[in-house]
């Protein structure tokens, strides 16, 4: 049995986010195919994730002796204990909502999700996999505009730092481009998500 962490980062209400329509369809198909797996939904806005304070920064150092119920460190422990990750976040200002970066600052903790060695940092979350699901207003998957895409690129890099290299992206592009059929684009992404859920 696998433990799946479903990380949601969008301020929009349920049923409004096109990104969540795609990610929820992924989850539904995954549940259907893996009924015994544990799925933990972590909605960052409902959690009220804030930016790290000086206290939080100090806690991110090793050997602090804090347990898994600590209000800051609990997220790093939860992340480390999961086997698979689904990240659902829209494309905002060439990246993703700031609350997701705040969450990443919570989970990157020495001794929990990575460690330092004489050869440099080593991720402690190896052998796990992640799917990033994103809705974008423009076309940022290919061509000249792809160089402006920094959200998926950052996530791939930081997850790699934590030892996770099995990373796939499901993107719905051009959702706000005049003349494009946004609903058809979402449906194509939903179909892709349900297909990818079969082997996740």
Q: Which fold would CATH assign to domain 3-197?
A: Rossmann fold (3.40.50)
Per-residue pLDDT tens digits for 166-194 = 999 999 999 999 999 999 999 999 999 99
Report the C-alpha gap between 20 and 13 in whole angstroms.
10
- CB neighbours (10 Å) of residue 77? 17
Residue 126 burial class via C-beta count within 10 angstroms: exposed 0-12, middle 13-18, buried 19 and up: exposed
Per-residue pLDDT tens digits for 45-83 = 999 999 988 877 776 665 555 678 888 899 999 999 999
Per-residue pLDDT tens digits for 112-148 = 999 999 999 999 999 999 999 999 999 998 888 889 9
Global pTM? Answer: 0.94
> What b/e readout covers 152-179, taking b as 16+ CB neighbours within 10 angstroms?
beebbeebeebbbeebebbbbbbbeeee
Domain boundaries, the chain: 3-197
State the number of CA atoms in the 13 A half-sphere of 151 facing the CB.
25
Report the C-alpha gap between 139 and 174 in whole angstroms.
5
């Amino acid at each position: 049995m696998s433990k799946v962490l479903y990380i949601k980062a969008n301020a929009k209400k349920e049923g409004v986010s096109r990104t969540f329509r795609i990610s929820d369809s992924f989850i539904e198909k995954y549940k259907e195919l893996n009924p015994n797996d544990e799925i933990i939904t972590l909605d960052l806005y409902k959690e009220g994730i804030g930016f790290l304070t000086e206290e939080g920064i100090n806690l991110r150092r090793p050997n602090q002796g804090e347990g898994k119920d600590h209000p800051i460190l609990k997220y790093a422990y939860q992340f480390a204990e999961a086997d698979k990750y689904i990240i659902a976040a829209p494309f905002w200002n060439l990246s993703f909502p700031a609350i997701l970066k705040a969450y990443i600052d919570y989970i990157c903790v020495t001794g929990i999700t990575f460690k330092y060695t004489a050869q440099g940092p080593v991720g402690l979350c190896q052998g796990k996999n992640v799917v990033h699901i994103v809705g974008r207003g423009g076309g940022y998957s290919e061509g000249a505009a792809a160089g402006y895409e920094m959200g998926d690129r950052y996530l791939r890099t930081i997850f790699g730092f934590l030892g996770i290299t099995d990373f796939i992206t499901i993107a719905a592009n051009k959702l706000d481009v005049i003349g494009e059929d946004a609903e058809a684009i979402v449906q194509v992404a939903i179909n892709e998500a349900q297909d990818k859920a079969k082997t996740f």
